[in-house]
Amino acid sequence: MIQAVIFSKDRACQLDLLLRSIRMFWKGHDSSKITIIYAYSSEKFESGYNRLMPLYPEFNFVKEKHILSNMLLSIKIDVPYTTFFVDDDVFTNEWDINNNDAAWNNFVNFPHFICLSLRLGKNINKNYESGDIPVPINILTKSPCIWKWQDAHSDFAYPGSVDGHIFKTLELIYMLRGIDHCCNIEPVLMRQMLESKLVKEKLMICYDKSKIVNVPNNMIQAIHKNKHMNGSIEKLNELYVDGKQIKLEPFINIDNDSCHYPMEYCFD
């Protein structure tokens, strides 16, 4: 029913944390199609992925050749729902769409929604980059939280995120039709959402509490100079290749107030 694409480069250590959190909190993940598109810039980072991949046989690993082609080939039209993650995301609490899930039931049964967000919730009242308070102006329902994203601010006005937003696959493919000439997915999605009559009037929906958090320990991509904690990907990889793992326990049921939440990693 759900397929997921995870993007990873040079961060096997952080990807390992995400995959362990998926195993713990995404109930039924093993019946979903989860593809990891990974890349590395040196043999040292390759060693990290060589350690990681045998530990997670239920996931489909694809070595990046052309990221856009890899992504589009990973999205199967016969799977009705598609989501994306990046390797520094972490699940923090249970997600079970089969357990009387009001947010999920609304999303799948009504055509009014552009996406279901796993990263937003009533606990989100800050933006890590700007410090804004991104409270939706027009909340139509309080549980689950439904709002007009065109009237909101900051993270609540950004349905095109690839950090844990779930889309209806056919709508997603329609919105990605201009992706061939762009290496960054999010601007393409946002442009289509703002310009397309098919999707621009739709609503966003999320859980009372966010299901995932992003830890901005370091930065890989160079397109946007995002704020981060100046962590070392080399050090994380070295620790991982040496057999260490980032502890998942500190993230369980954390009370994060932003989608990107700075936390220091602890190791087993």
pLDDT of residue 194: 85
pLDDT of residue 53: 98
Closest by alpha carbon to 226, among 142, 163, 166, 152?
163
CA dihedral 87, 165, 260, 53 (to 10 degrees): -10
Token pair of 259 as six digits: 């989608």
pLDDT of residue 140: 62
Write down the number of H helices and E strands in the chain: 7, 11
pLDDT of residue 136: 60
203-206 β-sheet, strand order: 60-63, 33-39, 2-9, 81-86, 165-168, 113-117, 203-206, 145-147, 139-142
Band (pLDDT 50/70/90 cuts) for residue 223 is: low
Q: What percent of the chain has pLDDT over 90?
A: 69
How confident is the model over 162-175, as pLDDT tens digits?
A: 999 999 999 999 88
pLDDT of residue 188: 83
Token pair of 201 as six digits: 């009037």
Band (pLDDT 50/70/90 cuts) for residue 6 is: very high
Q: What is the pTM of this model?
A: 0.93
How confident is the model over 25-76, as pLDDT tens digits?
A: 999 999 999 999 999 999 999 999 999 999 999 999 999 998 888 998 999 9
Closest by alpha carbon to 34, among 69, 72, 85, 92?
85
Mean pLDDT value across residues 1-22? 97
Residue 191 has pLDDT above 60, yes or no: yes
Band (pLDDT 50/70/90 cuts) for residue 218 is: confident
With left for phi above 0 and alpha for psi between -120 and 50, is residue 98 left, alpha or beta?
alpha
Please state, in angstroms and rounded to a whole number, the distance separating the CA atoms of residues 165 and 83: 6
Token pair of 257 as six digits: 């107030």
Distance, CA of 249 to chain centre: 20
- Find the angle CA(62)-CA(175)-CA(196) to the nearest 5 degrees: 170
How confident is the model over 72-124, as pLDDT tens digits?
A: 899 999 999 999 999 999 999 999 998 889 999 999 999 999 999 999 999 99
Within a 13 Å sphere around the CA of 93, how many CA atoms are in the beta-carbon half?
Answer: 12
How confident is the model over 198-213, as pLDDT tens digits?
A: 777 899 999 999 999 9
Residue positions counted in the chain: 268
- Amino acid identity of 268? D
Distance, CA of 122 to chain centre: 18
Residue 133 has pLDDT above 80, yes or no: no
Token pair of 203 as six digits: 């609503």
